[in-house]
Amino acid sequence: MLFTEPAFLFLFLPVLLALYFLSPSRASNVIITLASLLFYAIGEWAFLPWLLASTALNYVVAIGLEALQGSRWRKPLLALGIATDLALLVVFKYATLFTESLNGLLAAVDAGQLPVPQIPLPLGISFFTFHKISYKIDVYRGVAQVRRNPMDLLLYILLFPQLIAGPIVRYHDIAQELVRRTIRWTDFSEGVRRFILGMGKKMLIANTVALVADRIFALPADQLSTGLAWLGVVCYTLQIYFDFSGYSDMAIGLARMFGFHFLENFNFPYISTSITEFWRRWHISLSRWFRDYLYIPLGGNRGSPLRTYANLVIVFLLCGLWHGANWTFLAWGAFHGAMLVIERLGLLEKLERVPRPLRHVYTLLLVMVGWVLFRADSLAQAGVFLRAMVGLGAAGGVEHTVARYLDDAVIVALIAGVLGSGPVWSWFSTRLEQLRAKARGLAQGLTGVAMAVGSNAALVAILLASCTQIASDTYNPFIYFRF
């Protein structure tokens, strides 16, 4: 079920909120867990038994980790638990890629071919795999207590706001709220505000530019001009940010309505002035997960410079592979890992002497090159797109022009996307608050009322416009649902 479906907005969520707040507090975990089971089962009922069995195994492994304090068998048990989680992920997500790649090697030596398994990819499998691993490692490290009540663990794994596409919630970040939480009106209202803003990002900006990006990336090489290639990658750059950050905003907002506090997942990544800074701002929960559970255990930056660079590359190769079973994702991860190593080798110091606007352009160009790898269906298509972007494309006619794709809705979405990619609204709100603070007496009160009315009116407008799009538009995917 999508957060932007009428069934969710006007049936599932209102009914759940009513049951949640009208029931005794001791029943709250049961209600939201059952609702999360229903939420997932609606789209992925066939995979639900696997998910429940895997969660039960994690419950048993964590109990064992606690019981084996000081035992030499503790680390092997943790390794076994992580291996079972990863095995499930590999079978469902990577079996087809590995088999096709192996068949390519076999064909090169005229050997027989293996049957390619066609296994449907369960929604959100990467996200709840990371959650299960986080739980076991946190218990192993002693930063969180094991959950004796299996309902608490099931709730952590299945909590519906983050179940399908994150953000990746580390177990120790919400361990206490799984047991006891207090919902204040300020939290609930902030959750509603955040949800509406996220829905606006998704419906009004991401979906609009996505149509253009999809059409351009589907063009054959001989129809892809330089202008179209740049328009396509600009649209995709905005689409993936507003799609994923919009989902994260909705997830954070929904969680806040039910008393959970998720950490932020984006911090205006497109204002970054280096790839290093970009990864401090983009998909923050993923970066932190890889840092805490992979980069640091590998040695982080505690060893030699060469070991540090190797750790970075390994992490980003796996980060790319985590995103999807395609060599394009691996290339995207390798590209970002290589850029981080290059910046550590001295480029970052040189960039500090360059004017900030030029650093910003440098970062955006590299990020967009990376998005071409990320979006392309194959490395060959990525090569075609990159060549077209530098004027070396094979476009021979003017059948497809940039103007053909730029209607009023797309132009408005592009402008809103560019402005919304930076902290423009935060700056504007701060300026208004400063003006209100400078006012005195009645003027100060009237200014505050005007700001509140204006803010709420804007939220209502975003909500109505988003609902109109939901009612009239059938194009409504979330990019990260299949990662």
The dihedral sign for the CA sequence 30, 36, 42, 45:
negative
400 counts as catalytic: no
Burial of 68 (0-12, 13-18, 19+ CB in 10 A): middle
CA dist., res. 394 & res. 198, Å (int): 39
Handedness of CA 324, 328, 332, 337 (dihedral sign): positive
CA 33 → CA 30, 135, 331, distances in Å? 5, 17, 38
DSSP per position, 249-299: HHHHHHHHHTT--PPP--S-GGG-SSHHHHHHHSSHHHHHHHIIIIIHHHT
Give the tokens for residue 69.
Answer: 């304090």
Contact 239, 206 (CB under 8 A): yes
The DSSP call for residue 12 is: I
Of 323, 336, 360, 400, which is the active-site residue?
Answer: 323
- Which residues lie closer than 8 Å to 449 by C-beta, 6 or more apart? none
Q: What's the CA dihedral at 180, 181, 182, 184 to 10 degrees?
A: -170
Contact between 321 and 290 (Cβ < 8 Å): no
Q: What is the DSSP string of 140-202?
A: HHTSS---SSHHHHHHHHH-HHHHTT-----HHHHHHHHH-----HHHHHHHHHHHHHHHHII
Q: Which residue has the tokens 């730029």?
A: 406
Burial of 430 (0-12, 13-18, 19+ CB in 10 A): exposed
Residues serving a catalytic function are 323
